[in-house]
Amino acid sequence: MASVRAQTADDAAHLPAEAAEGGLHIDPMHQFEVFPLIPIRLGGIDASFTNASLWMVIAVAVISLLLLAPAKKLVPTRLQLIGELAYEFCFNMVRDVVGENGRPFFPFIFTLFLFILAANMLGMVPYSFTVTSHIIVTFALALFVFIGVTILGFVRHGAGFLRFFVPAGVPVVLLPLLVVIEVISYLTRPISLSVRLFANMMAGHTMLKVFGAFVVGLGVLGGWAPLAFMVAFTGLEILVAFLQAYVFAVLTCIYLNDALNMSH
């Protein structure tokens, strides 16, 4: 499915671009193509090990290398220091947003944050594949968080969790309408979580690819301008990679806080 979409987008991107510069091929969509590396079929389901799976494994490997650094000295080495900074950053975030109730969920949030951060950052490596630039990946993560937090709310508060959708101090006449609006705004959470990360990553990498093509297409004489922009934009993309991972983790903490402490 992804390759078919990429092909039609390729055709659409080729036509105006080839008319512009002689031989300039702007092909921003090809980098998002998912292809199987080790085809595996599990009874009708295509469970192949794709390039997306490969880069997810690499992300997990990078995180493990960072956190399982062998030298656990009391005075930390630089690698261990990075791990400790990440740990403390995430721990403070969980404690500030969720409070003490959120302590059991810190490993989950930490894992989520580090995975998205590693996946985003690995996408900045040239010729790599950005795992989070596919809506299905981000939607899977967001759905996991959303369903988990909702179940958690029901487990913690029972049926009283439904009181979350009834805002206080509202005239009874408006209540049905407001409850429906509250439910809709609650249901937007997984969509906004996933679309935010996906749109940022996909737009960023598409822009990088397009301006990279400009640099090559304009040649030695004219290529300096897009190159300067590329340098600045790559810096921005690294910031966005970190920021989007942070925003995802913070919003997960906020939703967790809503479910656990029902502060609404």
Whether 155 and 252 have beta carbons less than 8 Å apart is answered as no
Q: Which is nearer to other proteins, 17 or 240 (CB)?
A: 240
Segment 211 to 240, residues that bind other proteins, using CB under 8 A:
239
Segment 152 to 211, residues that bind other proteins, using CB under 8 A:
180-182, 184-185, 187-188, 191-192, 195-196, 199-200
92 binding other proteins? (CB under 8 A): no
Q: Which is nearer to other proteins, 30 or 196 (CB)?
A: 196
Interface pick for other proteins out of 81, 162, 174, 175 (rule CB under 8 A): 81
Q: Which is nearer to other proteins, 162 or 180 (CB)?
A: 180
Q: Whole-number minimum distance, CB 201 to other proteins, in Å? A: 12
Segment 50 to 69, residues that bind other proteins, using CB under 8 A:
none
Give the CA distances from residue 131 to residues 128, 139, 172, in Å, rounded to whole numbers and listed in that order.
9, 12, 47
Q: Which is nearer to other proteins, 136 or 181 (CB)?
A: 181
Report the distance separating Cα 83 and Cα 168, nearest Å.
43
Name the residue with tokens 């919003």.
251
Name the residue with tokens 């403390």.
88
DSSP-assigned letters across all residues of 177-220: HHHHHHHHHHHHHHHHHHHHHHHHHHHHHHHHHHHHHHHHHHHH
Report the distance separating Cα 19 and Cα 157, nearest Å.
63
Whether 256 and 152 have beta carbons less than 8 Å apart is answered as yes
Q: Whole-number minimum distance, CB 65 to other proteins, in Å? A: 16
Interface pick for other proteins out of 66, 79, 124, 251 (rule CB under 8 A): 251
Q: Whole-number minimum distance, CB 196 to other proteins, in Å? A: 4
Q: Whole-number minimum distance, CB 5 to other proteins, in Å? A: 19
Give the count of residues interacting with other proteins (CB under 8 A): 28
85 binding other proteins? (CB under 8 A): yes
Print burial letters for 82-114: b (CB count within 10 Å at least 16), e (below 16).
ebeebeeebeebbeebbeeebeebbebbbebbb
Q: Which is nearer to other proteins, 87 or 144 (CB)?
A: 87
Q: Which is nearer to other proteins, 97 or 213 (CB)?
A: 97
Whether 113 and 97 have beta carbons less than 8 Å apart is answered as no
What tokens were used for 140? 């899977």
Q: Which is nearer to other proteins, 110 or 129 (CB)?
A: 110
Report the distance separating Cα 28 and Cα 194, nearest Å.
21
By CB under 8 A, name the binding residues for other proteins: 72, 74-75, 81, 83-85, 87, 180-182, 184-185, 187-188, 191-192, 195-196, 199-200, 239, 242-244, 246-247, 251
